[in-house]
Structure 1
Amino acid sequence: MKYPLRGVIPPMVTPLLENLQLDVESLEKLIMHLLNGGVHGIFLLGTNGEGPSLDYEVRKQLITESCRIIAGRVPVLVGITDTSFSAVIEMAEHAKKEGADYLVLAPPYYFPISQSEMVEYLEKIIPQVELPVIVYDIPVCTKLHLSLETIKSAKEMGAFGVKDSSGDLGALYTLIDAFKNEQFSIIAGAELFMSDVLMHGGHGVVAGGANIFPKLFVELYEASINKDFDSITLLRQQVLQLQNEIYEIDDSPTKSIRAIKSALSLMDICSDHMVPPLSGFCPEKKKILEQRLKQFAI
């Protein structure tokens, strides 16, 4: 694989029909929206994609259809995190068969585990899978904030990089410093950290908001790597507006995920059907969202 994995990689939402089966027509529309926005990769079955909630057959179909539509134009990352060890391996094998490029793996999210148990878990998985693995640190969902030592162990086993969604900028800087002379991709999961991470030696961002405004994040990425501070200031203000006005309509812990899918429905890209317990916005909040989206000059 080409090192490092770089750029803006949206954690793509999963377009669903009312019966919660995959909406293939909307999937193609969404993928083209992202590709036309200039994104550098697409991440399937992440948090914004409702990966852990989807039926296994829907997950497999999403991988198959997405790889078909993308057709090698950008790298495809597939989330394989699960509470079932055999399901992790099965999804990894399916992703390989269908032409995906990377696997993304977080700690299993039901039983609390220690750092040493996570290392043992990775020792069982990484040698079994054929695609490069990106370890995923998202403690709000998994109960475990991966330590630097655990991530170093993952690299020694062959992991290709880390996606850090810990929300801890200091930890991100520590990762960048620890791997600055090594072939290991550092990908931020927090949109507001994007410029800081890139200008300090990180490689990319998995930005949920890029589902809605891919060009905004691509332009911010380019401004950041070129250290165009005037453009960074203007573009970061738009990202902050997205955070404050679009993601804050609701008070749910999953408000940003719901807002992103509801926004895409208002843009006529896909429906806002979501797998319970998540749901799209009620009509009143959707109207507020519609009004706020119109304020973006993007």
Structure 2
Amino acid sequence: MALELKGIIPPMITPLTANGDLDEKGLKKLIEHLIAGGVHGIFLLGTNGEAPSLSYALRKELITKACQYIEGRVPVLVGITDTSFSGSLDIAAHSKEAGADAVVVAPPYYLPISQAEMVDYLERLIPQLPLPTMMYNMPSCTKLHLSVETLKKAQELGAVGIKDSSGDMSYFYSLVEAFKETPEFSIIVGTEMFLPETILYGGHGAVAGGANFFPKLFVDLYNASKEANTEEIKKLREQVYYINNTIYRVGQYTSRITKGTKCALSVMDICEDHMAMPLQRFETKEREKVRHYLDQYNSLRV
């Protein structure tokens, strides 16, 4: 049976302890929280998962434990993007062995590459992968904005979808147009505010970071979008807008989104909020702001 990628697939954060080990208790609670919220899949080792900052050993431990806890209830996607080609293959092989359902591939970061070099890379990589492949367009972190032509080549090689985190709606429309004859190629966005437009204009879902702490909100917004329920979309999008303008704006630097997400989960007593180096978790003042925003959000929904 073909893997169907759709709906809300949270880019799960990686729960860590103070000494940098995997927070196993928190991981289990987080997975149960996500599944209880109705998510359609879980994406491990993405940007919010701090993948590049984790050792290979810790990545493998996370994959193994997460797959054990999820027990096949939802598809598991694993990010294998790495500066090392063999490193990507190693994590992909471990993901297969652990029971994951797909791997996610973005351009190797650090060294800038061209579209032609990316195609050559995919021609060598995808045939060696043991699981279905989803592409990941994250130009802010990889220096390369995947072209439609590159993605068409990826699809020819066997890729089953694209997660686009460029935030470029015109690019999204070009994706829908390019793949309209192949609806089995999933178009998933990473920009939470675009979820309704994504579904209404032919996309398949969202890898929404906010679904780490409010999974049901994003699942409800996805369902409302599928039903074209404009009143419900408006109400739910206001809640997503609130998150974007409060929890995601605490602290400095672009790392505040991942920090805020982890902090919210800690305040909700789901898992610890320690970060992988070089990042550090929020201090008390910032943590209290997140707590205040969560309390305010809950009071607004009553």
Point out where structure 2 has 5 or more consecutive residues left out of the alignment. Answer: none
Within-5 A mapping of 1:56-75: 56-75=56-75
Name the SS for the 1:272 alignment partner.
Answer: coil
Other structure's SS at 1:247 match: helix
CA distance in 1, matches of 2:213, 2:190: 16
Rounded to whole Å, the distance in 2 between the matches of 1:150 and 1:129 is 18
Equivalent residue, structure 1, for 2:37? 37
Q: Conserved in 2, the CA contact under 8 Å of 1:4 and 1:203? A: no
Distance 2:169 2:268 in 1: 33
Equivalent residue, structure 1, for 2:15: 15
| Structure 2: distance between partners of 1:158 and 1:40 | 22
SS at match of 1:295: helix
Corresponding residue pairs, total: 298
Could you list the runs of 4 or more consecutive aligned residues of structure 1 that deviate by over 2 angstroms after TM superposition?
1-4
Report the equivalent of 2:175: 175
Amino acid at match of 1:70: I
Q: Which moved more, 1:288-297 or 1:72-81?
A: 288-297
Distance, in Å, in 1 between the alignment partners of 2:261 and 2:216 is 15
Q: Which amino acid letter does the alignment assign opposite residue 244 of structure 1?
A: N
TM-score (norm 2): 0.97
Query: Secondary structure of 2:233's partner?
Result: helix
Partners of 2:250 and 2:49 lie apart in 1 by: 20
Residue 126 of structure 2 aligns with which residue? 126
Given that 1:135 and 1:161 are in contact with CA atoms closer than 8 Å, whether structure 2 keeps it comes out as: yes
- Distance in 2 of aligned mates of 1:185 and 1:198: 11
Structure-1 separation of matches of 2:4 and 2:174 = 18
C-alpha separation in 2, matches of 1:72 and 1:195:
28
SS state at 2:167 partner: coil
Is residue 85 from structure 1 mapped to residue 85 from structure 2 by the alignment? yes
User: 1:193 is matched with which residue?
Assistant: 194
Any idea what the Cα deviations from partners look like across 1:131-170, whole Å, max 9, x if unmatched?
0100100000000000000000100111010000011011
Q: Quick one: distance in 1 between partners of 2:3 and 2:258?
A: 30
Q: Which residue is 1:202 aligned to?
A: 203
- Equivalences for 1:1-298 in 2 at 5 Å? 1-2=1-2, 4-182=4-182, 183-297=184-298
Report deviation, 1:3. 5.1
Residue type of the partner of 1:63?
I
Report sequence identity in percent. Answer: 55
Distance (Å, rounded) in 2 between the aligned partners of 1:254 and 1:192: 19
The alpha-carbon deviation at position 107 of structure 1 amounts to: 0.4
Shift of 1:120: 0.4
Task: Letter of the 1:170 partner, please give it.
Answer: S
Q: CA deviation at 1:209?
A: 0.2
Deviation at 1:4, TM superposition (A): 3.6
